[in-house]
């Protein structure tokens, strides 16, 4: 089958013990499928399980055709392909209930943990290593609904502070602060919306840098004409109401990726002189131009601005470019065939390679406070994790002292329980 007119034809998807065959809904294709399965069984020594095999039809196939084809195959019909590689194969719009199994898995893990017997540091470790990690596999290819992401955040937040079904504990530090990096006073926790966006950014990066991948070829062909996703190196992505869940996620993360990519100059043929970011630490030249750029110049590549000797030829445009940028260009090596092809690079990292960590930092877009040497010292100290977590709480004055409880309306008595004279402060409490 072909998902688009110019896209690659798909005959099958195979991985481990899962196999999906694609074919036209006709009796002639039934014979082809049967021949494929017969050859597969003869070669592998395996048999087709009738109880585990189903045939799925598109909504355009008539009822009579479905009945005759399923009877000829000997397989039951299904309206749902179930899961493939652990991910539900949805045929309609994704909503919160579509991935309710993620919430169920989280609750199953929580039911086996005794939160009351764990220290704050222990709950923090489990939150990071288990609760935050569980949805990550699904998020690599699925744009989860925001409500579901918020529900996962709530589960992580409640477990961290020791909530249970009977009692809700005091959340002494805001969730936003907890999601700051440690050097900024947070705990390095991650909002699930930002995590999902960072994985979608990875898909955007693959769409640009790995055009040979099957899924990239499929989606670029599918959305090329209808959604103006062209065959250029950096395609144009446009949002539409009836696009797939994956394309919806790519659309939401696209601008974050495009604004953070640059070019490493090679032969200069692929880089647009005015529109691409190829000068280090500088926006595209079109944004810095001192005058109107004639249309005939707009889409020229960098190599078009060298002469026959391979040196820069900018004399006719030098008045269009700010002097400091012109100087940078003239001091840079001109494009050369010996330098190979132009290469797309990821600006946020020092090695120019895309990472989920750098993508998450961009997706979070936090207005961070100033770095605190106090928090830096706490986490640099090579002591027990539970002690470092306790010092972090002291630094935030988040221990439930009597003075803190008065502020939160939990009591009316702020005096120290030991001396019954002075107000109980964080310092007093931590020295007991």
In contact, 413 and 143? CB cutoff 8 Å: no
Q: Cα angle at 221 between 219 and 226, to 5 degrees?
A: 95
Per-residue pLDDT band for 231 (boundaries 50, 70, 90) equals: very low
pLDDT digits (tens, 9 = 90+) for 131-154: 999 999 999 999 999 999 999 999
Q: Angle 192-209/356-364 helices, nearest 10 degrees?
A: 120
What confidence score (pLDDT) does residue 230 get?
46
Residue 310, pLDDT above cutoff 80: yes
Residue 163, pLDDT above cutoff 50: yes
Per DSSP, the residues of 189-207 read ---HHHHHHHHHHHHHHHH
Smallest Cα–Cα separation from 404: which of 119, 171, 115? 171
Q: In which region does residue 305 sit, left (phi positive, over 0), alpha (psi from -120 to 50) or beta (all else)?
A: alpha
Residue 169, pLDDT above cutoff 50: yes
What confidence score (pLDDT) does residue 372 get?
87
Per-residue pLDDT band for 397 (boundaries 50, 70, 90) equals: confident
pLDDT digits (tens, 9 = 90+) for 41-73: 999 888 888 888 889 998 889 999 999 999 999
What confidence score (pLDDT) does residue 420 get?
58
Smallest Cα–Cα separation from 68: which of 37, 25, 35, 36? 25
pLDDT digits (tens, 9 = 90+) for 339-382: 999 999 999 999 999 999 999 999 998 788 888 899 999 999 99
What confidence score (pLDDT) does residue 244 get?
87
Coil/strand/helix, residue 344: strand
What's the CA gap between 144 and 211, in Å, rounded?
25
Percentage of the residues of the chain whose pLDDT score is greater than 70: 89
Tokens of 220: 């670029």
């Amino acid at each position: 089958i072909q998902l688009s007119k110019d896209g690659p034809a798909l005959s099958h998807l195979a991985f481990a013990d899962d196999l999906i065959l694609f074919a036209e809904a006709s009796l002639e294709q039934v014979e082809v499928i049967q021949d494929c399965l017969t050859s597969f069984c003869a070669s592998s020594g395996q048999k087709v399980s009738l109880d585990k095999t189903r045939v799925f039809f598109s909504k355009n196939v008539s009822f009579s055709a479905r009945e005759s084809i399923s009877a000829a195959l000997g397989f039951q019909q299904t309206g749902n392909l179930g899961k493939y590689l652990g991910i539900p194969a949805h045929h309609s719009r994704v909503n919160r209930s579509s991935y309710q199994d993620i919430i169920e898995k989280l609750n199953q893990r929580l039911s086996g943990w005794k939160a009351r017997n764990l220290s704050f540091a222990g709950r923090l470790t489990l939150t990071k290593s288990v609760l935050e990690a569980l949805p990550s596999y699904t998020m690599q290819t699925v744009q989860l609904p925001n409500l579901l992401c918020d529900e996962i955040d709530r589960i992580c937040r409640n477990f961290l502070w020791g909530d249970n079904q009977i009692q809700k504990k005091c959340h002494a530090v805001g969730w936003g602060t907890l999601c700051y990096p440690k050097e900024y006073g947070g705990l390095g926790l991650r909002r699930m919306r930002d995590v999902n966006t960072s994985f979608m950014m990875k898909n955007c990066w693959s769409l640009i840098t790995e055009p040979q991948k099957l899924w990239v070829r499929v989606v670029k062909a599918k959305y090329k004409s209808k959604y103006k996703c062209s065959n250029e190196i950096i395609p144009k992505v446009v949002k539409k109401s009836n696009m797939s869940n994956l394309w919806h996620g790519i659309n939401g993360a696209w601008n974050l990726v495009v604004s953070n990519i640059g070019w490493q100059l090679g032969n200069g043929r692929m880089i647009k002189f005015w529109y691409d970011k190829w000068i280090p630490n500088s926006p595209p030249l079109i944004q810095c131009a001192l005058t109107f750029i004639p249309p005939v110049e707009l889409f020229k590549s960098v190599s078009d601005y060298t002469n026959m000797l391979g040196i820069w030829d900018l004399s006719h445009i030098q008045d269009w470019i700010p002097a400091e940028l012109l100087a940078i260009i003239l001091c840079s090596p001109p494009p050369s065939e010996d330098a190979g092809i132009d290469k797309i690079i990821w600006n946020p990292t020092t090695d120019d390679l895309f990472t989920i960590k750098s993508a998450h930092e961009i997706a979070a877009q936090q207005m961070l406070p100033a770095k605190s040497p106090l928090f830096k010292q706490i986490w640099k100290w090579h002591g027990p994790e539970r002690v470092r977590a306790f010092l972090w709480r002291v630094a935030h004055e988040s221990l439930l002292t009597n003075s803190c409880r008065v502020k939160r309306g939990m009591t009316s008595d702020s005096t120290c329980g030991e001396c019954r004279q002075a107000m109980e402060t964080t310092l007093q409490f931590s020295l007991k």
